[in-house]
Amino acid sequence: MSSTALEVIGWLGSAVLVVSLLQTNLHRLRWINLLGCLVLIGYNAAVGVWPMVGLNVVLAVINVVYLVRGWRDRHDERAYQVLQVDGDDAYLRHVLRVHEADIRRFTPGFVHDPFAHDAAYLVLTGDETVGVVVVRDEGDGVAQVLLDYVTPRYRDRSPGEVVFGPHGPFRTDGYRLVRTPAGMVEPYYDRLGFVRVGDHHELTVGPPG
């Protein structure tokens, strides 16, 4: 291979690493960074820069470890905690304000009324808040979801499964039916047992197990 081609490969690997650092989604960041490391391992081995080969091997191994761990914990309810708060909770208002622009991308019609006293469920992993579900009790055991939001870093990790799953708060709080917002962008509810009804989804909730 010519020196020019090798140089192009080296620059390409560096560019891929830079692109990886611009990702907000951790899973995507790891995959792209791993690809960049593999390219640079080949480039540095070809030109004989062995310290850089070693560095990129270590980085590649770190990425693989975190990818495997993320895949293993993706549907593990133990990785998340659900904290119920009132609709006028100060920290809830802070989370909604910080993520307001991104929230409007996926739920354009959402308007939070702190005086309506809607209930909310914050999804946490460790000390980090990764999602929020705001609901209104419609009576007769019906919960109307006003907002179901996951932060970009955890959008591939399915924290919503914890809220809407068989051990989630809707079951323990005595609801019989959960309705999602109408017109939500990129809904994921089909794989959680919801049924599409017109412009929204519905989940029949059984009694607590």
Q: Are residues 128 and 196 in the same domain?
A: yes
Looking at per-residue confidence, does 167 or 61 come out higher?
61
Domain membership of residue 14 (yes or no) is yes
Which of 28, 54, 73 is at the close of a domain? Answer: 73
Which of 42, 73, 104 is at the close of a domain? Answer: 73
4-16: pLDDT as tens digits? 888 888 999 999 9
Q: Are residues 92 and 193 in the same domain?
A: yes
Segment among 44-53, 54-63, 127-136, 190-199 with least mean pLDDT: 190-199
pLDDT value of residue 95: 93
Domain membership of residue 209 (yes or no) is no
Q: Are residues 67 and 86 in the same domain?
A: no
Indicate if the pLDDT at residue 160 is higher than 80. Answer: no
Indicate if the pLDDT at residue 208 is higher than 60. Answer: no
79-108: pLDDT as tens digits? 788 999 988 889 999 999 999 999 988 888
pLDDT value of residue 43: 92
Sign of CA dihedral 180, 181, 182, 185: negative
Which of 42, 57, 73 is at the close of a domain? Answer: 73
Question: 83: Cβ–Cβ under 8 A, 6 or more apart, which residues?
Answer: 121, 122, 124
pLDDT value of residue 125: 87
177-187: pLDDT as tens digits? 999 988 777 77
| Domain that residue 17 falls in | 3-73
pLDDT value of residue 94: 93
Mean pLDDT of 113-140: 85
pLDDT range class, residue 73, cuts 50, 70, 90: low
